[in-house]
Amino acid sequence: MDTIFSLVTKPINQNVGIIRISGPETFLLTKKIFPFTKLNHSTLEVHKLFLNDEFIDDVILLIFASPKSFTGEDTIEIQFHGSMYIADKILSFLEKQDVRQAKAGEFMQQAFFNNKIDLIQSEAINELITTEDKLVAKKASENINNKQSNELKDILIHLEDIIALIQVSIDYPENTDLPKYSHEGIGKKVKKLKENIEKILTNSNKLLNASKGVKIAFIGFPNVGKSTLLNSFLKKERAITSNIAGTTRDLIESIFFLDGLKITLIDTAGIRKTNSILEKKSIEKAILATKEADLIFMLLDSTKDIKKQEEELFKNIDTNDLKIVKVLTKIDKNQSKRSEKDYLKISALNNEISEIIDYIKLFIKNEVINFEEEEKAILITSFQFANLQEILDSLIKIESFIFEKVEFDLISYEIERAMDIIKKILGIKKDPNYLNDLFSRFCIGK
User: Which residues of this chain interact with ligand GTP, rule CB under 6 A?
Assistant: 220, 222-228, 241-243, 245-248, 269-270, 329-330, 332-333, 347-349
User: Out of ligand GTP, Mg ion, none, which partner does residue 348 contact, by CB within 5 to 8 A per kind?
Assistant: ligand GTP
Q: Which of Mg ion, ligand GTP, none does residue 347 bind to, with CB < 5 to 8 Å depending on kind?
A: ligand GTP
Per CB under 5 A, 227 contacts Mg ion:
yes
Q: Should residue 223 be labelled a site residue for Mg ion when binding is judged by CB under 5 A?
A: no
Cα 202 to Cα 64: distance, rounded to the nearest angstrom: 42
Site size for Mg ion (CB under 5 A): 4
Task: Output the CA–CA distances (angstroms, integers) from residue 327 to 10, 228, 229, in the order listed.
Answer: 47, 14, 11
* 203 lies in the binding site for Mg ion (CB under 5 A): no
Q: How far is the CB of 254 from ligand GTP (least distance, A)?
A: 13
The H or E element that residue 355 is part of is: helix 354-363
* Smallest gap from residue 281 Cβ to ligand GTP (A): 14
Partner from ligand GTP, Mg ion, none contacting 332, C-beta within 5 to 8 A by type: ligand GTP
If the CB atoms of residues 3 and 241 are measured against ligand GTP, the closer one turns out to be 241
Distance CA 272, CA 253 (A): 21
Residue (119 or 328) nearer to ligand GTP, CB: 328
Spatial distance between the Cα atoms of 408 and 48, rounded to a whole number of angstroms: 70
Please name every residue paired with 262 in a beta bridge, in sequence order, or none if there are none: 257
Shortest CB 150 distance to ligand GTP, Å: 51
In this structure, what DSSP letter does residue 255 have?
E
Residue 228 near which of ligand GTP, Mg ion, none (CB within 5-8 Å, type-dependent): ligand GTP
Q: How many residues does the chain have?
A: 446
**Minimum CB–partner distance for residue 89 and ligand GTP (Å):** 55
Of 9, 232, 248, 282, the one binding Mg ion by CB under 5 A: 248
The separation between the first and the last C-alpha atoms of the chain, rounded to the nearest angstrom, is 17
Residue nearest to ligand GTP (CB): 270
We find the least distance from the C-beta atom of residue 10 to Mg ion, in angstroms, to be 39
Select from Mg ion, ligand GTP, none the partner in contact with residue 89, using the beta carbon and a kind-dependent cut-off of 5 to 8 Å. none
Output the smallest distance, CB 338 to ligand GTP, in A: 13
Q: Name which of 166 and 251 has its Cβ closer to Mg ion.
A: 251
Query: Which residues lie below 8 Å from residue 190, measured CB to CB, with a gap of 6+?
Result: 162, 395, 398, 399, 402
CB of 228 to Mg ion, least distance (A): 8
What angle, rounded to 10 degrees, do the helices at 119-130 and 408-426 form? 50
265 versus 415: smaller Cβ distance to Mg ion: 265
**Starting from the edge strand earliest in sequence, which strands make up the sheet with 100-101, in order?**
43-51, 54-64, 75-81, 16-22, 4-7, 100-101
Quick one: DSSP state of residue 65? -
CB of 237 to ligand GTP, least distance (A): 11
Residues 51-70 contacting Mg ion, CB under 5 A: none
Nearer Cβ to ligand GTP (30/290)? 290
Q: In the Cβ-directed half-sphere of 194, how many Cα atoms lie within 13 Å?
A: 16
Please choose, from the candidates 183, 155, 158, the residue with its C-alpha nearest in 3D space to the C-alpha of residue 408: 183
Query: Strand order of the sheet with strand 252-258?
Result: 252-258, 261-267, 214-220, 295-301, 324-329, 344-345
Residues found near Mg ion in the complex (CB under 5 A): 226-227, 247-248
